[in-house]
Structure 1
């Protein structure tokens, strides 16, 4: 009963959940590639309380960008030389949406997942924000069109869970109001929820979900 209670939505910000989540996250199976991409990116997965409600933060990329325009993604981007993956995630999050590193409680990072037609490797960095306010954000409109949050409870609701094929893989898809979260962003969301919550709260078997058409 104790383990079950620890892995609940209410206890997502607890030390016990953090430790359990990161232990599972670092050991999560990854698709092996015959040739590893040379480009690495970091993606910050911000677990936030918004008006007291545990939520995940996402961005809608600006239409000014040529390769990710209009996409829903976590904050982040290309890892540069002499910078750790966590430093990259924090720097680009502040650059893109103004969320300062001192607001972030870093949990750690997981394994790297292939993205963008297997041309890059993306490493998720998990961080929590005890209470997120509008004043914490200063969005760079040249890079980000919109920032929004989705309650964990919404992501755990089977009525909001779908699946779709992308690059030959069956991936989870989440519907939240007007937003459709898909691709690698949806997969990282799925992995995080699998690692952070018990099966009775988040039990998303994507092979059994309604399939919808998604574009890359």
Structure 2
């Protein structure tokens, strides 16, 4: 598949009429609508490198108070100076990974994802055609790495696992790749993309 064909496939995936995702998809106890969720934006950056599409992810620093050591998209909460979730995602990607906003072609947004930790995340799908100098922000990011898009686009590679969280068993999606354990909200958002790509 060429770069143009891959980009067009991603655009078609955004147009699929599938429901939004949530950390509660596999668990009971979803809070009522409007329960004070904080807005956030994350970038789902697809890079075209050496004739193939790869998804860029980060490994969060181990000293962080929230989600230490977890695999995540670059992104964060919407700040007062951000115009919207897309602006927040692009700003955070620049701060965390050195990806210039001008290098990202925003293809569109996937439906919001509600997390059990109180966020309403807007995943922003971005196409990055040209190379850039990736640099992890040492205060937040331990590592920047890429995964073949074909890997996260295959629903068959996802599994459901569980662990205790605040005294209750919680189930979640996983899509491991090599040494990287991709799980939780990141895996659930990626599973939503996989469902759209294969619909």
1:33 and 2:31 correspond: yes
Q: Which moved more, 1:99-108 or 1:160-169?
A: 160-169
1:24 equivalent in structure 2:
16
- 175-184 vs 75-84, greater mean Cα deviation: 75-84
Partner of 1:202: none
Deviations 1:4-33 (A, max 9, x none): x9xx9982212xx244222226x5234563
Which position in structure 2 is the counterpart of 1:151? Answer: 148
Deviations along 1:94-145, one digit per CA (max 9) or x if unpaired, are 0011000111000121222111x241111111101114x4x42122111100
Q: Is the 8 A contact 1:9 1:153 kept in 2?
A: no
- Kindly indicate whether residue 183 of structure 2 is the aligned counterpart of residue 182 of structure 1: yes
Distance in 2 separating the partners of 1:124 and 1:44: 6
Look up the SS of the partner of 1:176 in the other structure. coil
Q: Paired residue for 1:162?
A: 159
Task: Quote the Cα distance in structure 2 between the aligned partners of 1:103 and 1:136.
Answer: 11
Unaligned runs of 5+ in 1: 200-216
Match of 1:65 in 2: 64
Aligned to 1:138: 135
TM-score normalized with structure 1 length: 0.76
Decide whether the 8 Å contact of 2:109 with 2:124 is kept in 1.
Answer: yes
Give structure 2 stretches of 5+ with no counterpart: 23-29
For 1:181 and 1:143, the matched residues in 2 are separated by 17
> How many residue pairs are counted as aligned between the two chains?
186
- Superposed CA deviations along residues 32-75 of structure 1, whole A, max 9, x for unmatched, are 63152331111110111122221111100012311121010000
Residue of structure 2 in register with 1:121 after alignment:
120
Give distance in 2, aligned partners of 1:136 and 1:56. Answer: 16
Map of 1:47 onto structure 2? 46
Q: TM-score, normalised by structure 2?
A: 0.81
SS at match of 2:6: coil
